[in-house]
Chains A and B, each alone.
Chain A
């Protein structure tokens, strides 16, 4: 559990724009895999977690505008209402950018609690819009918030190691 106890993961490594774009596109791909039934409810929102990582670790490179644009793409691929994902991802990115300093102070275990509330807010915004439009909410949808939170640690570790790989090669 050396990763979890790492309070300050040394000096932040540089990140290429390619890595950011590739990670978000990869997350979109994972989101649009044909999940079905209960798995669909349990599916973590890979895009949200990936974007939250970049918003908290590189708030000047990946901000609210980018999150909004990715949200529009997610709306097209999900055939949801235009702007529904965009709105919830805007809220997500705002949370990530505003809390980026604080979140980077914590280790991964403490970060997870912070991240949970940002993700809960994101999910709530999406569900609220849906409730406003169609007058019903599938409560199982909110399960995805928990699994997304559980995904925070593996994704952080993965992205951190990918950032390091890039440096090692040089």
Chain B
């Protein structure tokens, strides 16, 4: 979706573009990335259009501004709506576990003395929310470039993502830990505990680091100057405009959402979708289903959902990809099983949730 008129003349002069997102935090509904672009020379006029951070505007005002900018021939815009099903699916992708035992069976009982180690590799090819966001922004830039717009500068909002996303980062990233295998049960627990430690460090290094994001984008689009800044949506009118585009699109998408499920007594009072909203909470509580969890509008990968899982029927997923070399067989049977079981435990989101900051 976006402005569809034939390419205006100003598009071949140097242009500036703002990108912002809406609906990153909510537990339900789509996440929307919006962009707004115009000629550099139009910036001054843009500043007079009263665009402000969409969060500070009332809904009617946002709608009004959106209609105005749609009508404005000197402004172009585009959106990327990311379906909640896609968000859940990417964040809950299948994990691969690989256990490499460097020892033969006969050494199992000596391992305590020898201090040998088993390597447990939990490879999660899950995609975290940051990656999804970055891909969406890159997709928007590509789309606008392909339309023939001469982009020279792009401003992006870099929201403070520290709190809500911690647990997803814990679940993401490839992990590799060494654990002593004589402690079948506790070793798995330790491994998992260490796992979390390791990823927590990764998290501290990367999240909140707007500069890395900027470098990533600059490498991909060398001819464009990127500005990644917090509060960009209130500092730069072009980003404010993008935030309005994104927010209005998200609100409309949620308002007009057609529930896939055909169960009776479902209603559409979603509230804002934020986990703290009482209306959203009530909606979640009313729509939970012991087998299916929730309607597919809900982002199952969100921590908020976990608290509802205890009332639901337990579902266990197979983690092991058959293509991987798993050497369970070299462990005595009674050692291997609890080991596997513990790994299951963790990947059902229980541990990470308890550990989230």
* A is bound by B: no
Interface, chain A (partner B; CB < 8 A): none
